[in-house]
């Protein structure tokens, strides 16, 4: 494991600066829809699952069931970790590990009739995670994850030549307000 080579702190810009590391990371999170979600059981056992998500207004939303392991774990410990693999180049794996975004956060369990969820459902913003009749099944709930202030990346925003020369210098920490 390597230490981050660069830390960048940028407030959310009102006028879009396409080169902003924070904006780029938010755009990558919004563009993707699948991640690994890590939770911890009450006895400290880690649990990681691949799950679809939707990124809306700075939060990740997941649909699951009240009885799921992830919901049970979040009830006892709301701290979670997220990992999103990012493929940016066709021959990506030839010169190093996949690019990625990872961060910790705090999760909340919301019922399907929570006003926030109702509004997002009515506006169609959660359509990509609520297909296949999942809302009609009993015991459904939503997870809302608030990412931590610091988001860690690998490879994103690092010049390709730097990574080709030394893949251990691809880490970056981006502060997102």
Average pLDDT on 44-69 reads 96
Answer for the pair 152, 101: CB distance below 8 angstroms, yes or no.
yes
pTM above 0.75, yes or no: yes
Give the per-residue pLDDT at 88.
67
Inform me whether the pLDDT recorded for 82 exceeds 90.
yes
Q: How confident is the model at residue 36 (pLDDT cuts 50, 70, 90)?
A: very high
Percent over 90 (pLDDT), the chain: 62
| Alpha-carbon torsion (97, 146, 132, 140), positive or negative | positive
CB-hemisphere CA count at 13 Å for 1? Answer: 3
Inform me whether the pLDDT recorded for 7 exceeds 50.
no
53 or 17, which is more confident:
53
Q: For 132, left (φ over 0), alpha (ψ -120 to 50), or beta?
A: left
Average pLDDT on 106-116 reads 97
Inform me whether the pLDDT recorded for 35 exceeds 80.
yes
Answer for the pair 141, 58: CB distance below 8 angstroms, yes or no.
no
Angle, alpha carbons 33-36-40 (nearest 5°): 140
**Tell me: the pLDDT tens digits for 133-173?**
788 889 999 999 999 999 999 888 888 788 778 878 788 88
Separation between Cα atoms, residue 82 and residue 60, nearest integer Å: 10
The answer as to CATH 2.30.110.10 being correct for domain 7-176 is yes
List the domain boundaries for the chain.
7-176
Q: Locate tokens 């926030």: which residue?
A: 116
35 or 163, which is more confident:
35
- Mean pLDDT for the chain overall: 85
């Amino acid at each position: 494991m390597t230490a981050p080579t660069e830390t960048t702190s940028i407030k959310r810009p009102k006028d879009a600066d396409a080169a902003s590391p924070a904006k780029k990371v938010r755009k990558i999170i919004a563009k993707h829809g699948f991640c690994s979600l890590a939770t911890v059981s009450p006895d400290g056992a880690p649990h990681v699952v691949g799950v679809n998500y939707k990124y809306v207004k700075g939060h990740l939303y997941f649909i699951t069931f009240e009885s799921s392991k992830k919901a049970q774990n979040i009830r006892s410990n709301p701290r979670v970790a997220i990992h999103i693999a990012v493929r940016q180049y066709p021959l990506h794996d030839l010169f190093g590990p996949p690019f990625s975004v990872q961060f910790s956060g705090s999760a909340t369990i919301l019922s399907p009739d929570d006003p926030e969820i109702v509004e997002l459902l009515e506006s169609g913003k959660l359509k990509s995670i609520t297909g296949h009749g999942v809302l009609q099944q009993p015991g459904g709930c939503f997870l809302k994850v608030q990412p931590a202030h610091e988001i860690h990346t690998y490879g994103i925003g690092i010049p390709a030549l730097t990574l080709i020369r030394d893949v251990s210098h691809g880490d970056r920490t981006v502060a997102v307000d």
